[in-house]
Structure 1
Amino acid sequence: MTIQVELIDGTLCRVVPKGLNLLLNRELVKRFKRSSGWAVVGRDPIRYSEKVNGYNGMERRKAA
């Protein structure tokens, strides 16, 4: 499955979901196509991947 994306420089491309997350985190996306229409970055709610953002708190797991 690919997602249609418009980059901040106006380029239109199609990317896989992981590629969209990467582009969003690098702040290169102007908008992308959802089933309900175009989602505009900075205007519409967007979920960011936790894996990319990571956890910034104290490590609480114990070593085995």
Structure 2
Amino acid sequence: MLIVPIVYEDGMMDQVDPQSLQVLIEEEMIVKFQRGEGWVYVGVDPVRTKQRPDYPGPERRHMH
């Protein structure tokens, strides 16, 4: 199982699974997490998030 190092807002370090990481990013509970390339700063570096349900544009992932 993949474990991702993270740093919470209060400076505490931890390790979580990818699913928990997604929740922590969405809830803005962490400052950074580590990828293979190095540390990713939430709110500064690009991170994947769930598509907002109110997205007004076309669904570009749909294949005809």
Q: TM (normalized to structure 2)?
A: 0.75
Q: Which ranges in structure 2 are unaligned for 5 or more consecutive residues?
A: 56-64
Give 1 or 2: higher helix fraction: 1
Which runs of structure 1 show a deviation greater than 2 angstroms over 4 or more consecutive aligned residues?
A: none
Matched, 1:6 2:7: yes
Q: TM (normalized to structure 1)?
A: 0.75
Q: State the aligned residue count.
A: 54
Structure 1 residue 18, shift from structure 2 partner? 0.5
**Distance in 1 of aligned mates of 2:50 and 2:3:** 17
Q: Which ranges in structure 1 are unaligned for 5 or more consecutive residues?
A: 58-64
